[in-house]
Amino acid sequence: MDQEQAIKLLSERLDTYDDPQFVFVDCICWFADDFARFKKGIINEILRRIRHPPILPQKHIEQPILPLYYLVDAISKNCEPSYSAQFGERLPQVFEQSLHLNDKHLNDKLFNLVEHWKLDNIFSEYGIESLQECVRNYKKINAPPPPSI
């Protein structure tokens, strides 16, 4: 199987993913390990979906992005370390864009993920610092105005 076929297969599987189901996440992790030679394409596909969520064919809804972040977490923890390194380098840009969707529930979960990634050393120190900087910037920009006296 070549990279184009592997990414097409991954994309078809991801088209059914809208909830962080353990069996599904495990299957994608196995896929990522089996096709690690295409890791750049696999990472690109997942980050592309976070950046521009597609409409899921079977449900006719936009793909929720939080389960995709959980997938990034699982692959980074359970697959070869180079996945974690590459996700860590590329995630801050996508992460910042996700924060600016201004979805409080999503943002709370993303803030928690950053803390989890920091505690578990999932990404490099630089990657974690970049993600934390995104959180600080977002909170500063969206802080409520000080009360007027």
Phi and psi torsions of 56, nearest 5°: -75, 125
Kindly state the tokens that stand for 30: 């196995």
Quick: pLDDT tens for 49-87.
999 999 888 888 888 999 999 999 999 999 999 999 999
Average of per-residue pLDDT across 77-106: 93
- 23-55, pLDDT tens digit by residue? 889 999 999 999 999 999 999 999 999 999 998
Task: Answer whether 0.95 is exceeded by the pTM.
Answer: no
